[in-house]
Structure 1
Amino acid sequence: MTVGIAPRALAIAAFGLTAAYAAPAVADTASEIRALKARLNKLEAQEAEAKRAAKIAAQQQAAAAHAAPAPVGVAVQAPKHWYDRISIRGYTQMRYNGILDSSSYNDTYAYGDRSVGPRQNFFLRRARLIFSGDISDHLYLYTQFDLASSPSGTFSSSASNIGYAAPNFWGFYNQQIGSYNLNAGNFAQMRDAYADISIDDKKEFRFRVGQSKIPYGFTNMQSSQNRLTLDRPDAINTAQKDERDLGIFFYYTPEHMRHLFRDLVKNNLKGTGDYGMFAFGAYNGQGANRVELNKGVHLVARLTYPYVFANGQVVEASVQGYTGRFVPATSGIRPSLGMGTNWAGYIPNQFPWANSKGYNSPFATSSYLPFVNGPGYNNLYNNFNVANYNDTTVNFAAACVNGCNGLKDERVAVTGVIYPQPFGVFAEWNWGQGPSLDPYQFTIKSSKLNGGYVLVTYKYEDKDFGLGTFFPYVQWQQYRGGAKTETNAPVDRVNELEAGIEWQPLPEIELTAAYAHMNRTNLALAPYRQWQGDLLRMQLQWNY
């Protein structure tokens, strides 16, 4: 309304003066000039009033958004307190697992879902509660709790394997017998607790301090609230327990990329959110909610670039890697052969602990503690000589003596994504080395690993009958390497094909059904047998 008022007033004045000069005999020049001046003063007053009103409106808006002091005499909304800026949201997932077929019912197990196993029915997989918000222009807080966490030793379970040695040439120890407990589960546990500290007004450069997700692997950074598959693939997920750790991370994201990362989640395209176009960080390395066990830190870096085509399709390519040293947990087991196979637990007669010949051997028991072959530990062969296994004076102690520096733990991964508009592909592969139990189950050392996954999906939105959104998908995954976060870091061998569909009848409700043909290692119990089978799983998720 105010644009152009002053130029028009000047034009009118100029025209009037010109007219007065050209025809002094026709009109009263002095009266016309006075009229034009009055008109000009009125227009200028209107323009000044409009500017003042616009300024007051802008100040009111700034006061409401940033609690800035209001101009004297201007009524504005009361400033918000920091706790008024905190939002609360969450989601809950309830599952049902059914074993259709299994080569070894008692060995049925999945790394990403502890509810997969014999005698299991309904299960609360997650019950998340999230508090987040911009406390100021430069500080963002995020805290997440899981009210359905199941720490080790909770829920009813069988005691463990107990072994035996057959009197003939070979023997197996793989019987799962024992008692059951009635321990409780579903405890509250912190998942995230971090602050994003922005060092510029556009929030392109920021530091994330606290416990948060490690910027490694697209599927690890994807929220379980948005991910298609019920579990993350082993090949990427074994890199980091619970995908999180305590550390400091630097993220750089250009402003237009920040909006893109946000929209890929907001528009239901299964994005990760903003973990930076470039990320670099240092973290403990032992996993979320776990005590650090060595002085060293893990270092991680990631570079990703999403590209938007003219038709709106988005593709993203990433490369990432980390390096550090990891301290594995150990517990007593009985050495044997065949780990990660159907005949795991095989004990040849030549082994000194297979019969009475090795009665005095420290291995003639099911509670042998695997030796960690890394800096800071006793040397295995300085403490035990296999040739002298009958010597009752053997003093074997695979103990940590010099600080337990841990074993080398490093990986590099590549990622390629075509976001589902409507056809989508997600693929990742990683290589590296990490803690792994050797085939004899004597020692844990750093060994090579590799694996990844390919997921194909299609997004269908039913606009004819209003049935909602459907995501049918197929995923293949493979992994060969140690599961460093499991006790004794056993070898994990996975080859799995899964087909499923996610149905979103309402934005707040999701129902997923998945069928998987699995070939997996039972990482929970020694001697870590391999099992094959078919599994049908269903999950209901409600968002709030």
Structure 2
Amino acid sequence: MKLGVGRAAFAAAAFGLFAGVAASPAAADTASEIRALKARLNKLESEEAAAKRAAKAEAQRAHAAPAVAHAPEAPKHWYEKLSIRGYTQMRYNDTINADNWNNVYSPHDRSVGPRRNFLLRRARLIVSGDVSSHLYLYVQFDLASAPSGTFSNSFTAGTNPSYALYNPQIGIYGNSAGNFAQMRDAYADISIDEKKEFRFRVGQSKIPYGFENMQSSQNRLALDRADAINSCCKDERDLGIFFYYTPEHMRHLFRDLVRNNLKGTGDYGMVALGVYNGQGANRIELNNGVHIVGRFTYPYVFANGQIVEASIQGYTGRYMPTTSAITPSLGMATNWAGYRPVGFPGAGVPFVNAPGYFDGTRNLVLGNYPGANAWGWSCVNGCQGVKDDRVAVTGVIYPQPFGLRAEWNWGRGPALDPTQTYIRSAGLNGGYVEATYKYDDKEFGLGTFFPFFKWQYFNGGWKTETNAPSARTYEWDVGVEWQPLPEVEVTAVYSNMNRTNTGAAPYRQFHADLLRMQLQWNY
């Protein structure tokens, strides 16, 4: 109650008293009435003062600092700032038709082939976090990896191929354990500004070449990456130093393209430059040279919210292919591969026609094929490796709801000669086109659906396979990814394959139809 209210009450009471006295001289004694009114006024003023004090005390409690402050929290240790997450993919592949069952092979998936079914394709565990305002750590392990050579169709002549599943060239089975833990990523992002627009990524990480290579397998629609782009880099990763520049608003956009389920790559820079070994993830460097990579990408947001992105990237260096003994033949990457004309040499290791591999006393004149001793790991002149250069272009329309992505690359790289006696630098080209549609079922609450179609082509050497065989790929996939829950994804795909068996000589071409399914759970 305000003071004015008390005064108004007093005035009303006085006016009533005056009116009563004037109207009735026989009323009670005026002095006693005045004393009663004063007592009433004093009571009202006392109550108003008490209410003001209570309101002031409440305001002080609400806005003032507590009388006894809590002790400040102890700063967190660096390991308390890290988070743990991951995902697992279980696959089922069924070859429903093939022109040569024993040649069915894919360098991307060990369960593609005869007599194979279930496979844990990936079981990833990721530890990451900002340990300071300038340092970000990222470590990723795969618990479903296989040691090099395991589940391969590549054999060394005259040895027991116990590490392989099946070799169609000599018809021998083998078996070996898989699902070993292997490091995929181990890097630090060191930012040189508070906004983290300029940063260096040091360690083993993905090479900024190709949208699909940088896109996580956790987000990718097609079960495998396209041959033409993925053949550039073993496991998409290598050990090196990469510089990324991303304006602050672009960093938020790259992040949201993943968070909003639009199948983005994450932040690999609007501008990227790097140097790396060039031999692939978890492999030692085999020459004194490094690979150099550069990439520029620009995503654009239209007024209606549609997002498109265009990129150009390229790399250059020299690559050291690995070799094993084979029986040379003609017709590689054809259905009649294996033809051997009279005078062809017997089993031997293809030599590498590149600086440092041989001393010049051997040549490539027809009929003078080098034997298995033409070169070795102790190469003369330093083993410089085979010229390995590529450039690629990328175009992306993010699925809102219709999406389209295409990539194509051209270049040169290691490739086995058609005589299968030596490896040299040869031209390559290829790419893919993928279309999809994003449908969120809000009527029945069934989740999100991504029906998609993908077509790919590749013509060139597969440098990361033993002997770098020349390959031809003509393949298309049609499928759908269903996300009933954010933590569960189911993908079903029909694949029509026309590709080279790059896992075993004589490297025949094969045709096959596959039914493929994958269950992925995220955590």
TM-score range, shorter chain: 0.7 to 0.9
Matching residue of 1:382: 362
Asked whether the 8 Å contact 2:156–2:326 carries over to 1, the reply is no
TM-fit CA distance, 1:307: 0.3
CA contact (8 A) 2:141 2:181 kept: yes
Aligned ranges 1:244-255 → 2 under 5 Å: 244-255=237-248
Structure 2: which amino acid aligns with 1:214?
I
Q: Indicate if the aligned counterparts of 2:155 and 2:504 stay in contact, CA closer than 8 A.
A: no
1:158: how far off?
A: 9.5
Report whether the alignment pairs 1:515 with 2:497.
no
The partner residue of 1:370 within 315, 333, 350 is 350
Q: Which residue is 1:476 aligned to? A: 455
**What SS does the aligned partner of 1:219 have?**
helix
Mapping of residues 195-210 of structure 1, within 5 Å: 195-210=188-203
Distance in 2, matches of 1:536 and 1:132, equals 36
Once the 2 structures are TM-superposed, how far is the Cα of residue 75 of structure 1 from its aligned partner? 3.7
Say whether 1:139 aligns with 2:143.
Answer: no
Distance of 2:307 and 2:77 partners within structure 1: 39
* 2:374 corresponds to: 397
Structure 1 contact 384–396 (Cα < 8 Å) conserved: no
Alpha-carbon distance in 2 for matches of 1:199, 1:427: 34
Q: Distance in 2 between matches of 1:234 and 1:278?
A: 25
Shift of 1:501: 0.2
Counterpart position of 1:324: 317
Aligned counterpart in structure 2 of residue 433 of structure 1, from 393, 400, 412: 412
| Partner SS for 2:382 | coil
Name the amino acid aligned to 1:543.
Answer: N
Aligned to 1:80: 76
Cα distance, 1:129 vs. partner?
0.2
- Residue identity opposite 1:316 in structure 2: E
Evaluate the alpha carbon distance shift between residue 455 and residue 394 of structure 1 in structure 2; reply closer, same or farther with a 3 A threshold: closer
Specify whether residues 517 and 306 from structure 1 end up closer, same or farther in structure 2 by C-alpha distance, changes over 3 A only.
same
> What TM-score do you get using the length of structure 2 for normalisation?
0.83
Q: Distance in 1 between matches of 2:69 and 2:168?
A: 83
Query: Is residue 2:471 matched to residue 1:495?
Result: no
Deviation per CA, 1:92-120, whole angstroms, max 9, x where unpaired?
00000000111110000112112111110
Distance 1:140 1:175, change over 3 A: closer
Alignment equivalent of 2:90, drawn from 94, 102, 115 = 94
Distance 1:106 1:388, change over 3 A: closer
Distance (whole Å) between structure 1 residues aligned to residue 75 and residue 292 of structure 2: 42
Q: Which of 257, 261, 272 is the equivalent residue of 1:279?
A: 272
Aligned partner of 1:122 in structure 2 is 118
2:432 counterpart letter in structure 1: Y
Q: How far did residue 380 of structure 1 move? A: 6.4
From the superposition, tell whether residues 99 and 148 of structure 1 become closer, same or farther in structure 2 (CA, over 3 Å): same
Residue identity matched to 1:91: Y
* Residue in 2 that maps onto 1:169: none
Counterpart for residue 207 of structure 2: 214
Q: Secondary structure at the match of 2:381?
A: coil
For residues 338-376 of structure 1, give each alpha carbon's deviation from its aligned partner in whole angstroms, at most 9, with x where no partner exists.
Answer: 000000011123xx13xxxxxxxxx2x22x111201100
**Identical columns (%):** 70
For 2:85 and 2:141, locate their aligned partners in 1 and report how far apart those are by CA, in whole Å: 11
Summarize the Cα distance change of 1:139–1:346 in structure 2 as closer, same or farther, 3 Å threshold.
same
| Residue type at the aligned position of 1:104 | N
Aligned length: 457
Which of 101, 104, 108 in structure 2 is aligned with 1:105?
101
Is contact 1:160-1:176 (8 Å) kept? no
Cα distance, 1:431–1:130 mapped onto 2, change above 3 Å: same
C-alpha distance after superposition, 1:371-422 (max 9, x if no partner): 2011001156636875578xxx999523421211001101000000000000
- How far 1:156 sits from its partner (Å)? 9.2
Gap change, CA 1:330 and 1:380, over 3 Å in 2: farther
2:291 pairs, out of 292, 298, 305, with: 298
Shift of 1:221: 0.1
Query: CA separation of 1:371/1:506 partners in 2, compared to 1, >3 Å: closer, same or farther?
Result: same
Pairing 1:153–2:149 present: yes
* Structure 1 length-normalised TM: 0.80
**Structure 1: tracts of 5 or more residues without a match:** 1-44, 58-71, 163-173, 354-362
Q: CA separation of 1:385/1:205 partners in 2, compared to 1, >3 Å: closer, same or farther?
A: closer
Bigger Cα Rg: 2
SS of residue paired to 2:286: coil
Q: What amino acid is the match of 1:500?
A: G
Report the Cα distance in structure 2 between the residues aligned to 1:394 and 1:240, rounded to whole angstroms: 29
d(CA) in 2 for partners of 1:497 and 1:310?
34
Could you tell me how far 1:260 is from its partner in structure 2?
Answer: 0.3
After superposition, residues 332-351 of structure 1 pair within 5 angstroms as 332-349=325-342
The root-mean-square deviation of aligned C-alpha atoms, in Å, is 2.6
Alignment-derived partner of residue 519 in structure 2: 540
Write out per-residue CA displacement over residues 185-234 of structure 1, whole angstroms, 9 at most, x where no aligned residue. 11000000000000000000000000000000000000000000000000
Unaligned runs of at least 5 residues, structure 2: 1-55, 159-166
- Residue identity in the other structure for 2:145: S
8 Å contact 1:106–1:118 — kept in the other structure? yes
Map 1:30-109 to 2 at 5 A: 75-109=71-105
CA distance in 2, matches of 1:380, 1:109: 37
CA contact (8 A) 2:351 2:372 kept: no
